[in-house]
Amino acid sequence: MAAFLTTDGVSSGIKKVISDAESQITLISPEFALPAPLFEQLKLAQKKGVDITLVYDRANFTDDQRLWIIETRNLHLYRFRALHANCYFNDDRMIITSMGLNEYSTRNYREMGILVRRGRDKELFKKAVIETDSILAAAKELDPIKDDLPSGESSLARELVSDVERTKEDISDTVSFLKDDLERTMADIRAGADFLKKDLEKTLEDLNTEITLRSKETGKKPKSES
């Protein structure tokens, strides 16, 4: 069955996914900023003829990494905007985790993950591969030569700024909606208060009328004989 992993286990597990690969490696992460040790392991795997697939939303490749990507033939790049999953697997081992492919995650966060083996967790492994195929089908395959591969912090920064701007627009729309909704609610409350006020006034009027009528009826009653 699947094994639970903490931060160190996830980190070493990802390295093992790359180093132990025999025919293919698939690395899925929203933000790619490959640490140097993992990059070196990928180069070794590529030299062994291992087919490599990288799927990301944003990336921050170094110049050396960009050059290697352009020159490598058994490497496939995909970009998927809606990606928020971290999954790394080879022919037999799969890591599904909260850890992204960057040194910051490893050094600064407490991460969790699970190790799935094809041999002992067949159904789980199969479902994850099917989901990966679905992501690849919806993603855009990149041409390392024709497409502009992101490099340096400026590229990542631009995309982060773009995300911030989109978030600001979303917040502005939400605030506008909440303002309109609040105004409608206040109007409903005022209308309800006016209705209750009129209803209370009518009730008091009816009560006063009833008291007056009863007082008159009491005054008309004959005095009892002594």
Does residue 219 lie in a domain region? no
Give the tens place of pLDDT for each residue, 17-45.
Answer: 999 999 999 999 999 888 999 999 999 99
Average pLDDT over residues 105-120: 92
Look at the chain and report how many structural domains it folds into: 2
The Cβ-side half-sphere exposure at 219, using a 13 Å CA radius, reads 6
Confidence of residue 151 (pLDDT cuts 50, 70, 90): low
Residues 35 and 93 in one domain: yes
Confidence of residue 168 (pLDDT cuts 50, 70, 90): confident
Residues 120 and 56 in one domain: yes
pLDDT of the residue at 54: 97
By C-alpha distance, which of 8, 10, 54 is closest to 34? 54
As a whole number, the mean pLDDT across the chain is 88
Residue 27 near residue 149, CB atoms below 8 Å: no
Give the tens place of pLDDT for each residue, 64-112.
Answer: 999 999 999 899 999 999 999 999 999 999 999 999 988 777 788 999 9
By C-alpha distance, which of 90, 136, 134, 85 is closest to 116? 90
Does residue 218 lie in a domain region? no
How far is residue 132's CA from residue 121's CA, in Å, rounded to a whole number? 17
Does residue 198 lie in a domain region? yes
Lowest mean pLDDT among 109-118, 133-142, 178-187: 178-187
Residues 81 and 144 in one domain: yes
Does residue 39 lie in a domain region? yes
Residues 166 and 129 in one domain: no
pLDDT of the residue at 146: 76
The alpha carbon dihedral of 66, 70, 71, 77 has a sign of: positive
Residue 116 near residue 128, CB atoms below 8 Å: yes
Does residue 195 lie in a domain region? yes
Amino acid code (one letter) for 224:
S
pLDDT of the residue at 205: 86
Examine the pLDDT at 137 and tell me if it is beyond 90: yes
Residues 65 and 141 in one domain: yes
pLDDT of the residue at 153: 47
Residues 181 and 137 in one domain: no
Confidence of residue 154 (pLDDT cuts 50, 70, 90): very low
Helix-strand-coil percent breakdown of the chain, rounded to 5? 55, 20, 25
Residues 66 and 166 in one domain: no
Does residue 36 lie in a domain region? yes
Confidence of residue 223 (pLDDT cuts 50, 70, 90): low
Does residue 220 lie in a domain region? no
Residues 11 and 99 in one domain: yes
Does residue 223 lie in a domain region? no
Q: What's the CATH number where 141 sits? A: 3.30.870.10
**Domain interval for residue 87:** 3-150
The alpha carbon dihedral of 59, 69, 45, 56 has a sign of: positive
pTM of the model: 0.66
